[in-house]
């Protein structure tokens, strides 16, 4: 691996289940094992995380995959290239609607994604106001929400206005009648459901391909200046990912998520049993195959960006920018480093 160019790092995250590998690597001393002194920094929103990462206030971050294509073509209005050596989760978003709206639309648990979309679109086309939210403009959550609506009406899917809210604020916004539904990652669908505010109506896995959702991201300049440090950082997180897949006693993981305010509701193997084990299953299966970033995922993200809000990007050849988002040599080197442990 070689000499670390930097050993004290600021690592940003948003409180979602798929930041757990970062938290676990810190808890288990995996960062220390590779010579890193990591400070975990909780950010208030994806916008603040992106800006602080781009301008060097964070060294690396738990990041939305779609932020990388947006940065590559300056669709984020910043244009500082971001890259990733590691996928943290794949396609693990859900769409939730208020319980009141589900009752009005007679949405049933067994309804397909297309059926639930048709019921909602029918209400909207009858001149009823429905307010929906996602977590960030450049996210699989945004694309999933529009693709879901497009199952019923492609024109409405393009024209409807949607709000942007940080994940932890979804339940509060629903409770205050600011929104009627949203697309977000866990546990911010389970929380309002247990509070009696919403129902999960479909999964992103029912709507879009299995693509990268969250990634470990750094700026291109930072990656070039700190290759050995990035290999060490990535290897520690890969080690955490592997342990989380195989761990038998899940209680310490759950407690860690509570301590870092990722989980803010009462749920246990004895109470709300199904929800507890659903969350455990999600954490064990964030990645289907391996955590290596894949070019096809970022090509798809570019295509979605073109389709839903940046048609001018059609003038750009997307294969090269998609490839430039990936740090495959760093991933390979980090994978080799994990063999030592």
- Model confidence at 11, in pLDDT bands (50, 70, 90)? very high
What residues pair up with 11 in beta bridges, in sequence order?
40, 60
The verdict on domain 93-206 having CATH code 3.90.1640.10 is no
Q: What is the mean pLDDT of the chain?
A: 94
Name the pTM for this structure.
0.95
Give the pair of three-digit tokens for residue 141: 């959550």
Q: Which residue has the higher pLDDT, 179 or 306?
A: 179
pLDDT at 18 over 60: yes
Q: Is the peptide bond before 41 cis (omega within 30 degrees of 0)?
A: no
Looking up tokens 């955490």 gives 240
Residue 133, strand partner residues = 163, 182
Residue ranges covered by each domain of the chain: 8-90+212-263+289-338, 93-206
Confidence at 340, pLDDT banded by 50, 70, 90: confident
Whether 53 contacts 61, CB under 8 Å: yes
What is the predicted pLDDT for the residue at 311? 63
User: By C-alpha distance, which of 189, 199, 198, 171 is closest to 110?
Assistant: 199
> What band does 289 get if pLDDT is binned at 50, 70 and 90?
confident
- 339 pLDDT exceeds 70? yes
Determine the pLDDT at residue 297: 96
Q: Name the CATH topology of 8-90+212-263+289-338.
A: D-Maltodextrin-Binding Protein; domain 2 (3.40.190)
Contact between 7 and 247 under an 8 Å Cβ cutoff? The reply is no
- Cβ(232)–Cβ(239) under 8 Å? no
Identify the pLDDT of residue 78: 87
Is the pLDDT score of 310 beyond 80?
A: no
Q: How does DSSP classify residue 196?
A: T
Give the containing element (helix H, strand E) for 60.
strand 60-64
Reading the block at residue 191, the tokens are 């929380």
pLDDT of residue 288: 83
Q: How does pLDDT run across 30-88, given as a tens digit for each residue?
A: 999 999 999 999 999 999 999 999 999 999 999 999 999 999 888 888 889 999 999 99
pLDDT in tens, 243-257: 999 999 999 999 999
Between CA 272 and CA 235 the distance in angstroms is: 35
To 10 degrees, the CA torsion angle through 318, 321, 323, 325?
-130
């Amino acid at each position: 691996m070689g000499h670390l160019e930097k050993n004290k790092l600021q690592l940003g995250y948003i409180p979602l289940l798929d930041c757990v590998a970062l938290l676990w690597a810190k808890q288990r001393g995996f960062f220390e094992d590779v010579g890193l002194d990591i400070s975990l920094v909780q950010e208030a929103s994806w916008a603040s995380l992106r800006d602080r990462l781009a301008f060097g206030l964070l060294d690396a971050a738990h990041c939305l995959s779609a932020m990388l294509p947006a940065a590559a073509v300056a669709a984020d209005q910043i244009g500082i290239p971001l890259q990733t050596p590691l996928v943290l989760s794949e396609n693990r978003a859900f769409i939730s609607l208020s319980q009141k709206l589900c009752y009005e639309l007679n949405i049933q648990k067994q309804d397909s994604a297309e059926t639930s979309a048709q019921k909602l679109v029918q209400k909207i086309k009858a001149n009823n106001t429905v307010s929906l939210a996602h977590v960030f403009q450049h996210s699989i959550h945004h694309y999933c929400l529009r693709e879901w609506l497009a199952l019923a009406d492609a024109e409405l899917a393009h024209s409807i206005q949607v709000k942007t809210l940080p994940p932890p604020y979804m339940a509060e916004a629903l409770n205050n009648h600011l929104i009627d539904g949203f697309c977000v990652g866990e546990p911010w669908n389970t929380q309002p459901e247990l509070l009696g505010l919403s129902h999960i109506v479909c999964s992103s896995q029912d709507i879009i391909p299995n693509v990268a959702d969250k990634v470990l991201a750094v700026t291109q300049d930072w990656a070039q200046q700190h290759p050995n440090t990035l290999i060490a950082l990535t290897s520690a997180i890969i080690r955490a990912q592997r342990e989380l897949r195989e761990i038998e006693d899940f209680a310490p993981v759950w407690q860690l998520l509570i301590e870092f305010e990722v989980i803010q509701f009462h749920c246990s193997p004895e109470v709300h049993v199904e929800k507890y084990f659903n969350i455990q299953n999600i954490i064990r299966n964030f990645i289907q195959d391996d955590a290596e970033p894949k070019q096809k995922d970022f090509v798809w993200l570019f295509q979605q960006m073109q389709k839903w809000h940046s048609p001018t990007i059609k003038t750009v050849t997307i294969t090269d920018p998609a490839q430039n988002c990936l740090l495959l040599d760093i991933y390979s080197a980090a994978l080799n480093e994990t063999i030592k442990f």
